[in-house]
């Protein structure tokens, strides 16, 4: 034998311990490794990763890309890992960069080199999008349930307060009286639209399978993407591999839907805060959803409503963060995309948490009829009725508006309400006023006189309540 060769030859034994070890001779800097790791966040995708891998391996076995026996071996071990997850027995190792590498590492501990066959014809790039879509499907269902619970609370309160009046506002100035139930159902409508957005996601972007796009170009293995889709419950498969691995529109759509929830939470919460103030006194938040002050003994603050209002900031922030990550990003996969999960998880958790606290907060609100009606006496909320009265007599609405405006100015100077103006006085402001004006400017009349579909008219609000009850409490009879 000659002298020992000094040139380095590729070593089969010395490895950097990574899936890509073949291409590397040096280990990753631990600081870089820590910076790149995403396991802390994406560990929650583990059950979805296992389900997606089960389907992928099943398809590989059926297509004879790996043997049936190998497929079975891998699938049995994936099931075992699922049981470990359910029993909280998954222990991450320092080298586990993300959830996908953790699963593969654990699989190879269980079955050795055959574990390496699982990754045939796929890449983490299409795998992670698949996991994320499966996770988001579940999250959407949770959010829909929560949004329906909020709507049910609003319906119950609306049913409890049929016939109660409150001032409706524009510009936060008294505008026209409405039923309290109409106001509650107004907030409900916003949450119904939110619910519909998550439904649309479920049948839209989240119903399209990414797996099979592989790293970016597809694969030379004879895979059957439709079979994988079918196994995982997706109705469609994505059409362009390059688009598939770089697309996070579904995350943005999800974040946008959450941001809109935040808009709606904050608008409702703001009114709860405002209306529970001493100045309004329309409602009181239950003690269970309020806090006192460490210094001012008299205080009962609506902190939970304030936090609901405040937390919408995070939702807008996360949408903006991911929009910024995606802007100008070249096709296809870039590691920047890993940032999707931080934004999506935080926003989803925030809304899910809010949806847990909001229904009981709403259920326990106490409304104060006297204060609501007192507030309706102020600010001439039936002035439009007087103008409509004239318009019904054939007076052009603009002329009617001006006449009633003069009447209001006069009444304000006299510190009178419109109900206290005599017919004679009304006729002084416009000769076309008829005796009926005296009833028309009454508060209750202002509500009952409404005729349009969707208005605050009692029959309209009752019909709306009936529709919402039917939609939100299917199978239950109206408890009248």
Residues acting as catalytic residues: 171, 293
CA neighbor of 177 nearest in space, from 372, 370, 366: 372
Closest to ligand ARG by CB, 128 or 260: 128
Q: Is 333 in the site for ligand ARG (CB under 6 A)?
A: yes
Q: Is 49 in the site for ligand ARG (CB under 6 A)?
A: no
Q: Is 124 in the site for ligand ARG (CB under 6 A)?
A: yes
CA neighbor of 136 nearest in space, from 212, 227, 220, 200: 200
Closest to ligand ARG by CB, 274 or 342: 342
Q: Is 264 in the site for ligand ARG (CB under 6 A)?
A: no
Closest to ligand ARG by CB, 19 or 227: 19
Stretch that binds ligand ARG, among 57-65, 225-233, 313-321, 332-340 (CB under 6 A): 332-340
Q: What three-state secondary structure class fits 421? A: coil
Closest to ligand ARG by CB, 42 or 195: 42
Give me the phi and psi of 167, to 5 degrees please.
-75, 135
Stretch that binds ligand ARG, among 3-11, 123-131, 289-297, 412-420 (CB under 6 A): 123-131
Q: Is 48 in the site for ligand ARG (CB under 6 A)?
A: no
Q: Hey, how many other C-beta atoms are within 10 angstroms of the C-beta on 258?
A: 28
Beta bridge partners of 279: none
Q: Whats the size of the chain, residue-wise?
A: 480
Tell me the closest approach of the beta carbon of residue 72 to ligand ARG, in angstroms: 27
Q: Is 234 in the site for ligand ARG (CB under 6 A)?
A: no
Residues 6+ apart with CB under 8 A from 262: 311, 312, 313, 314, 315, 316, 350, 351
Judged by phi (left if over 0) then psi (alpha if -120 to 50, else beta), residue 201 lies in: alpha
Tell me the closest approach of the beta carbon of residue 121 to ligand ARG, in angstroms: 16
Q: Is 464 in the site for ligand ARG (CB under 6 A)?
A: no
Considering only residues 88 to 107 of the shown chain, the ones binding ligand ARG according to CB under 6 A are: 98
Tell me the closest approach of the beta carbon of residue 337 to ligand ARG, in angstroms: 5
Stretch that binds ligand ARG, among 246-254, 333-341, 398-406, 457-465 (CB under 6 A): 333-341
Binds ligand ARG (CB under 6 A): choice among 74, 337, 347, 348: 337
CA neighbor of 115 nearest in space, from 193, 57, 170, 158: 57
Binds ligand ARG (CB under 6 A): choice among 53, 54, 75, 125: 125
Binds ligand ARG (CB under 6 A): choice among 4, 327, 335, 480: 335
Q: Is 433 in the site for ligand ARG (CB under 6 A)?
A: no
- Verify cis geometry, omega within 30 degrees of 0, for the bond prior to 471: no
The CA distance from 199 to 193, in Å, is 10
- Residue 42, burial from CB neighbour count under 10 angstroms (0-12, 13-18, 19+): buried
The CA distance from 134 to 102, in Å, is 19
Catalog residues that contact ligand ARG under the rule CB under 6 A.
Answer: 38, 42, 98, 124-125, 128, 333, 335, 337-338
């Amino acid at each position: 034998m000659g002298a020992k060769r000094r040139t380095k030859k590729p070593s089969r034994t010395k490895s950097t311990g990574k899936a890509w070890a073949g291409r590397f001779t040096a280990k990753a800097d631990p600081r870089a490794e820590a910076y790149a790791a995403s396991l802390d966040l994406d560990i929650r995708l583990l059950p979805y990763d296992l389900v997606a891998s089960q389907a992928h391996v099943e398809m590989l076995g059926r297509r004879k890309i790996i043997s049936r026996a190998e497929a079975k071996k891998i699938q049995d071990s994936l099931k075992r890992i699922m049981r470990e997850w359910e029993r909280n027995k998954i222990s991450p190792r320092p080298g586990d960069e993300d959830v996908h590498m953790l699963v593969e590492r654990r699989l190879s501990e269980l079955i050795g080199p055959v574990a390496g066959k699982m990754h045939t014809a796929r890449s983490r790039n299409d795998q992670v999008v698949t996991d994320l879509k499966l996770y988001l499907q579940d999250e959407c269902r949770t959010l829909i349930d929560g949004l329906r619970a909020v709507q049910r609370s609003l319906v119950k309160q609306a049913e409890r307060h049929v016939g109660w009046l409150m001032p409706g506002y524009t510009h936060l100035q008294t505008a026209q009286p409405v039923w309290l139930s109409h106001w509650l159902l107004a907030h409900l409508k916003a949450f119904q639209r939110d619910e519909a957005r998550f439904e649309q996601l479920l049948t839209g972007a989240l119903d399209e399978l990414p797996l099979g796009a592989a790293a970016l170009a597809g694969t030379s293995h004879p895979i059957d993407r439709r079979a994988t889709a079918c196994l995982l419950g997706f109705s469609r498969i994505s059409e362009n591999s390059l688009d598939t691995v770089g697309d996070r529109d579904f995350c943005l759509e999800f974040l946008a839907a959450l941001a809109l929830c935040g808009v709606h939470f904050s608008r409702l919460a703001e009114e709860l805060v405002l209306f529970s103030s001493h100045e309004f006194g329309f409602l009181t938040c239950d003690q269970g959803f309020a806090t006192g002050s460490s210094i001012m003994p008299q205080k009962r603050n609506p902190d939970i409503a304030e936090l609901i209002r405040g937390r919408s900031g995070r939702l807008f922030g996360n949408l903006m963060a991911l929009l910024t990550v995606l802007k100008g990003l070249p096709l296809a996969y870039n590691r920047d995309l890993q940032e999707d999960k931080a934004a999506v998880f935080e926003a989803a958790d925030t809304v899910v948490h809010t949806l847990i606290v909001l229904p009981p907060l709403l259920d326990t609100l106490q409304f104060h009829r006297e204060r609501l009606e007192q507030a309706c006496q102020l600010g001439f909320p039936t002035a439009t009725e007087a103008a409509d009265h004239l318009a019904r007599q054939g007076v052009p609405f603009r002329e009617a508006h001006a006449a009633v405006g003069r009447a209001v100015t006069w009444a304000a100077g006299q510190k009178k309400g419109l109900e206290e103006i005599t017919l004679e006085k009304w006729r002084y402001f416009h000769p076309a006023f008829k005796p009926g004006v005296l009833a028309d400017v009454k508060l209750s009349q202002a509500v009952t006189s409404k005729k349009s579909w969707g208005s605050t008219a009692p029959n309209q609000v009752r019909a709306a309540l009936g529709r919402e009850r039917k939609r939100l409490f299917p199978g239950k009879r109206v408890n009248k």
